[in-house]
Amino acid sequence: MSAELDYYELLEVSRGVDDATLKSSYRKLAMKFHPDKNPGCAESEAKFKAISSAYACLSDPQKRAAYDQYGHAAFENGGMGGAGGMGGNPFNDLGDIFESIFGGFGGGGGRGQARRGADLRYDLEISLDEAFHGKSEQIEIDVSVQCEPCDGSGATPGTGTRRCNLCGGHGKVRAQQGFFMVERTCPTCHGRGEVIENPCRSCGGEGRVDQRQTLDVNIPSGVDTGTRIRLTGKGEAGPFGAPAGDLYIFVHVKRHSVFERDGTTLLTRAPITFTKAALGGEIELPGLDGTRHTITIPAGIQSGKQLRQRGAGMPVLQGRGRGDLVVEIQVETPTKLSAKQKELLRELQETETGDECPQSKGFFDRIKTVWEGLTD
């Protein structure tokens, strides 16, 4: 990026801009092009450095007056110490900008800003029947909770805190790293700005202790594998009385011996005899709702044909109605026949004309045509 770019154009302001508008525009651009928001992007890093230099100049009244009269020439050959010298340092504002972007380096935030406790995950396995009907489940988890003796403060009851000497009560410390002024959470007070003089013996000054808890979980009907149930405030307690995180229950539905599931649709494969397939009939299937579902088999049905029973599937989660039950027919060829059965089948075979099975007849007619073509 050329060093001769106009500072006002870089900051996207006019020459008569007031200080508040100048600062606002700079902060917006600094947030947009900061290297931490654009990792590995050399163009953004160069843009960030350029707008920082521009603001360092224009935010200082003396430098701005010189720049307005002479342009970049005012700072050549060491004039006025260069755009980066003599006050007007943009890094005086970077602490606020960084906190706007990241909430403070290290996740500590500013003084008095309590860190929320961590969210937790619990995997719960249920049966397909339980997913159909819904259920109430009790679970046990090991979780940190607010310390009762100190009421989460981390201090021995009756004692208090003092201002942190390292950060002066700000909760943050700054350090120069090359071109940047980096602001981080104070390592002594962890962002609180205060230090506990007499830590609570029960929690060691953390304001929380580990404990096994029993929780009631309501599993609604219609849940599926991957359904997430949120229990607000049942995660890890935050340090020093900060709000607790949330507990997320991830549901896993076990395989069923008869049914497979696709959303609200229940699927099953039903093998039937070839005589039932030829003559038609009925089969009964047990529904997850406890009722019997009668499936009518039309005469002449083929393997792979799917029959649908409306409203016999899974409930709609947090909604009304139910999906369908889909039965895929598999025609089974008998493998064990008595002498009498074989005799009857031979009699049937002798009466066949080929028209009974049009697909078979059509296939072998095509085969015959191919053979005739090869022998010509």
Is 120's pLDDT higher than 70?
Answer: yes
340 in a structural domain: no
**Residue 248 shares a structural domain with residue 127:** yes
The model's confidence at residue 122, banded by pLDDT at 50, 70 and 90, is: very high
- Looking at residue 301, what is its pLDDT? 94
| Binding-site residue ranges | 147, 150, 164, 167, 186, 189, 200, 203
Whether residue 110 lies inside any domain: the answer is: no
- Same-domain status, 126 and 215: yes
pLDDT tier, 202 (very low <50, low <70, confident <90, very high otherwise): confident
Closest CA to 229 of 134, 347, 115, 351: 134
The reply to whether 293 and 362 lie within a common domain is: no
The answer to whether residue 140 scores a pLDDT higher than 90 is yes
Q: Is residue 208 part of a domain?
A: yes
1 lies in some domain: no
170 and 285, same domain (yes or no): no
Q: Can you give the pLDDT at residue 74? A: 66
- Of 190, 221, 253, the residue at which a domain comes to its end is 253
Residue 57 class from Cβ within 10 Å (0-12 exposed, 13-18 middle, 19+ buried)?
Answer: buried
User: Residue 76 has what pLDDT?
Assistant: 61
The domain that holds 97 is classified in CATH as 1.10.287.110
How many domains in the chain? Answer: 4
Tens digits of per-residue pLDDT, 236-293? 998 878 889 999 999 999 999 999 999 999 999 999 999 999 999 999 999 998 899 9
Express each pLDDT in 9-47 by its tens digit. Answer: 888 988 888 888 888 888 888 888 887 777 778 888 888
Same domain, 247 and 363: no
pLDDT reported for residue 354: 79
Domain that holds residue 223: 120-253
Q: Place 60 in a pLDDT band, splitting at 50, 70 and 90.
A: confident
List, as residue ranges, the binding site for Zn(2+): 147, 150, 164, 167, 186, 189, 200, 203
* Whether residue 264 sits in one domain with residue 177: no
CATH of residue 313 = 2.60.260.20
**Higher pLDDT pick, 108 / 213:** 213
334-349 pLDDT, tens digit per residue, is 989 999 999 999 999 8
**What is the pLDDT, as a whole number, of residue 87?**
43
Which residue stretches of the chain are H helix? 7-10, 19-33, 42-58, 61-70, 94-102, 128-133, 274-279, 339-351, 358-375
DSSP secondary structure letter of residue 303: T
Same domain, 127 and 249: yes
| Tens digit of each residue's pLDDT (9 = 90 or more) over 129-139 | 999 999 999 99
DSSP state letter for 199: B
* 87, 47: one domain: yes
Q: SS3 breakdown of the chain: % helix, strand, coil, rounded to 5?
A: 30, 25, 40
Mean pLDDT value of segment 350-355 = 85
pTM metric for this prediction:
0.59
